[in-house]
Structure 1
Amino acid sequence: MRVRPELRHLFAAAFGLLVGSAASACGTDAVGIDACREIESARCEATQACGATEAEAMHCIDLYRDQCLHGLQSGQEPGADATARCVEAVHAVAACARAGAATMADCPAEPLVAAADPAAITPCVVIARKPEQLADCAFVAKPADTGTTTPSGNDAGDAAME
């Protein structure tokens, strides 16, 4: 069966629109993808200080490799120095957790943001759910209108880490 030239052109145009719209849907305006991956890898590894297994930490790293394609929640590119300070802070908090720190008050080497109460938050909660509470990691989340930070959408590990 032979397709009339007019239909062939319509099919070609429709195909072109389909490919064009699919290509534009793949675009991203994500910011801080590499920083996100570095920080999330550190957080995932740090979950082992809070009871996660090595396999769970590796699964977490794999998950966030893709999740970080959305970039940082804050939409800010932190730069290599800020990223390194945040990763170091996460490692330090993991060391506090391994040492048995009950709260972040027992981990004074890693200051929290001004609005956070170090006596009310555990190192494992910081690692698993609230890295933006660390002064060196505050850039990962958008600040709330009240001057405090919002919880990060990047929850390394889902185990109860309190």
Structure 2
Amino acid sequence: MRLRLGPRHLLAAALGLLAGSVASACGSNAVGIDACREIETARCEATQACGATEAEATFCIDLYRDQCLHGIQNDVEPSADATALCVEAVRAVAGCARAGAATMADCPAEPLVASADPAAIAPCLVITRKPEQLADCAFVVKPADAGTTTPATTDAGDAGDAATD
């Protein structure tokens, strides 16, 4: 005996599969979406101290508004105070970059995590690639990852990245 499926059956099956896949993709357990947006906005603005144009900084902000829907890597929602301290730290590092600091050793007002060598990290590298190296921003990654160099959800990129992303 052959089972014959009509167009309505095929359509119903396709819609069922689509509904199932959409339903499983709708949930979000993202943590720190607002904190991510505040920090990434500060980092994107700070890239101008490292040679980015205003248009590149604006593009960066627009990009991370959506990217931050994934939240931060840490599973714990940061407090408003912690977020504000991180934003201020990023802005202070931008000030060091504008003042010509070659390394974070020339920017002692903004301490780094214990595992970071201030003499080996330039302020622009902290701004564009390694914000978790700032003691006040270490919470953006999982505690076991603090001090590492590759945060997946917080990367404002190089000044030149904004023009090519």
TM bin, normalised by shorter chain, reads 0.7 to 0.9
Distance 2:98 2:66 in 1: 28
Fraction of identical pairs, as percent = 80
SS of aligned partner of 1:25? helix
The residue aligned with 1:97 is 97
CA RMSD of superposed structures (Å): 2.3
The residue aligned with 1:68 is 68
**1:38-90 per-position Cα deviation (integer Å, ceiling 9, x unaligned):** 00000000000000000000010111111111110122211111000000000
The residue aligned with 1:111 is 111
Distance 1:51 1:41 in 2: 16
Under a length normalisation based on structure 2, what TM-score does the superposition of the two structures give?
0.84
Instruction: Structure 2 unaligned segments of length 5 or more: list them.
Output: 1-5
1:149 counterpart letter in structure 2: T
Deviation at residue 27 of structure 1 after TM alignment: 1.7
In 2 relative to 1, CA 160–21 (structure 1 residues): closer, same or farther, beyond 3 Å? closer
The residue aligned with 2:3 is none
Under a length normalisation based on structure 1, what TM-score does the superposition of the two structures give?
0.85
Deviation at residue 150 of structure 1 after TM alignment: 4.2
Deviation at residue 10 of structure 1 after TM alignment: 6.9
Deviation at residue 21 of structure 1 after TM alignment: 2.6
Instruction: Structure 1 unaligned segments of length 5 or more: list them.
Output: 1-5
Contact 2:132 2:139 in 1 (8 A): yes
The residue aligned with 1:155 is 155
2:148 counterpart letter in structure 1: T
Distance 1:122 1:8 in 2: 63
Contact 1:102 1:123 in 2 (8 A): yes
Distance 1:79 1:144 in 2: 19
State yes or no: 1:57 paired with 2:54. no
State yes or no: 1:130 paired with 2:130. yes
Moved over 2 A (4+): 6-18, 142-145, 147-151, 157-161
Deviation at residue 23 of structure 1 after TM alignment: 2.5
SS of aligned partner of 1:65? helix
Distance 1:138 1:149 in 2: 10
